[in-house]
Amino acid sequence: MKFKKMKFYGLFFFLFGFILWGFLSYISYIFLKINNEHLSINNIVKEQIQNRNLYSSSINVDYKNYIETKYEIIKPGILIIGSSRIQYYPEYLFNKKLVIAQQPFYSFEMFYSSLESLIKIHKPDLVILGLDWWLFNENYNKKQSKIYLNTLFDKKKTLEKNKNFLQFTFNELVKPYLWLLERKISPKFFWESLNGKKLNNIGVMANLNQSGYNIEGYYSDSYTINGRKKFDIEFKDTISQIQNKQKDFSEFVFDQNSLEILRKINNLVRLNKIEILNILSPISPTVYKELRKSDYLKNFEKISSELKNFDNFYDLTQKSYFNDCQFLDGTHPGEVLNFINLKEISKINTRIEKFITKKIHNDTIKNNLERVVFKDINLISKKENDFLKIGCKK
């Protein structure tokens, strides 16, 4: 090979690489843009208010600002704070405007700081606090919550304006290819997106699964309820976690500090003359039985006994009227059960009654007793099937 040729080939390889990598990056950008991943938080909220579309992103995870921005615009009468276990409260269950501040709250410290900043923006009339057992677990609080906290809040505030190609980072642009490799998205979806398929939702995952957050924070989960998610069929995944003491069911040591912070949260709300409900969220009957069998239930009982002196505390871990078909998985209750629970609470606490809709009658409840979402009321209700494969009549 002559030197001139060698130089030519060298330059060719470099330029070829440059064009190839540049092209792949640009393709990725186009894909993300079509899926509305380039939108700024302000524009995500604007879009959702105007078009009522869903939002679920793996790129734009500035949840804190997302919640604060929409909270400031909506100025809700009801604020629900908690983990994913409180994300199935649609606004039509209530008489007032609703915002669910779900996602970045992984510890009571975060509950407190978020609530404090949200109350400064606007005072709601009612705060519903979704309590999870792991928030009272010292092992979880010492380690996991801090990891999540730092991961989520280390991020800079996202831009006011939409992102252009050069404002995407390499880590973001490489994600679509990783999703393809991990089979999270199909080549077909990738190709159709690039070919200009009309995608209304915000975020790749929202468009792919037709699932995501509504503007009030309610999670439209058609991906789960029509059986595509294939998680926790017959509650096997949750039961396995309990048996192996995995994830949220890991070794439990009651954290006294959590109790103090919860007390602080309640005082903060009361000082601002806001009604509060402290709810220990429901667990499916089958999973509850497993908890009893594995002796993990004592931890729930410990939490319940520590909280019994709290005003407006409701232990909804297990009630006689629960059935497995009302759950999305072992630990996530659907909107039907959430509504039944609210009605039950309002029987004891009449001050809550005024917040709950009267448009959903007892007959409607009766017709939906084995469902997750209300038939004909919820737009995704037709998609619901026996996704847990436990013989539910849908």
- The nearest distance, CB 236 to other proteins, in angstroms, is 14
- The nearest distance, CB 181 to other proteins, in angstroms, is 13
- The nearest distance, CB 206 to other proteins, in angstroms, is 23
* Part in contact with other proteins (CB under 8 A); list of ranges 66-74, 162-170, 226-234, 337-345: 162-170
Q: Is 184 in the site for other proteins (CB under 8 A)?
A: no
Are the CB atoms for 283 and 324 separated by under 8 Å?
A: no
Q: Is 6 in the site for other proteins (CB under 8 A)?
A: yes
**How many binding residues for other proteins (CB under 8 A)?**
38
Number of alpha carbons in the 13 Å side-chain half-sphere of residue 268: 21
> What whole-number distance in Å separates Cα of residue 322 and Cα of residue 283?
9
- The nearest distance, CB 11 to other proteins, in angstroms, is 8
> What whole-number distance in Å separates Cα of residue 48 and Cα of residue 43?
8
Are the CB atoms for 286 and 391 separated by under 8 Å?
A: no
Cβ neighbours of residue 269 closer than 8 Å, sequence gap 6 or more: 115, 119, 127, 276
Q: Is 10 in the site for other proteins (CB under 8 A)?
A: yes
Supply the angle between the helices 41-51 and 63-74 in degrees, to the nearest 10. Answer: 50
Contact positions with other proteins (CB under 8 A) in 247-306:
247, 250
> What whole-number distance in Å separates Cα of residue 126 and Cα of residue 47?
27
Cα–Cα distances in Å, from 277 out to 50, 233, 393?
31, 31, 32
x/- contact string, 214-253, with other proteins (CB under 8 A)? ------------------------------xxxx--x---
Residues 350/129/250/57 CA torsion (nearest 10 deg): 130
Shorter beta-carbon distance to other proteins: residue 149 or 390:
149
Neighbours of 74 (CB within 10 A): 19
Q: Is 17 in the site for other proteins (CB under 8 A)?
A: yes
Shorter beta-carbon distance to other proteins: residue 146 or 270:
146
Task: Choose which of 22, 153, 236, 292 interacts with other proteins (CB under 8 A).
Answer: 22
Q: Is 1 in the site for other proteins (CB under 8 A)?
A: yes
And the tokens for 146? 């801090």
Q: Is 75 in the site for other proteins (CB under 8 A)?
A: no
* Part in contact with other proteins (CB under 8 A); list of ranges 18-26, 79-87, 89-97, 380-388: 18-26
Contact positions with other proteins (CB under 8 A) in 140-159:
142-144, 146-147, 150-151, 154
Instruction: Annotate 49-108 with DSSP letters as a single string.
Output: HHH---B--SS---HHHHHHHHHHHH--SEEEEESGGG----GGGBSS-EEEEESS--SH
- The nearest distance, CB 251 to other proteins, in angstroms, is 8
Running DSSP on this structure, what letter comes out for residue 276? E
Shorter beta-carbon distance to other proteins: residue 47 or 255:
255
* Part in contact with other proteins (CB under 8 A); list of ranges 3-11, 64-72, 296-304, 328-336: 3-11
Shorter beta-carbon distance to other proteins: residue 278 or 299:
299
> What whole-number distance in Å separates Cα of residue 353 and Cα of residue 285?
27
Task: Choose which of 171, 195, 320, 350 interacts with other proteins (CB under 8 A).
Answer: 171
Three-state secondary structure along 97-124?
CEEEEECCCCCHHHHHHHHHHHHHHCCC
Contact residues for other proteins (CB under 8 A)?
Answer: 1-3, 6, 9-10, 13-18, 20-22, 25, 139, 142-144, 146-147, 150-151, 154, 166-171, 173-174, 244-247, 250
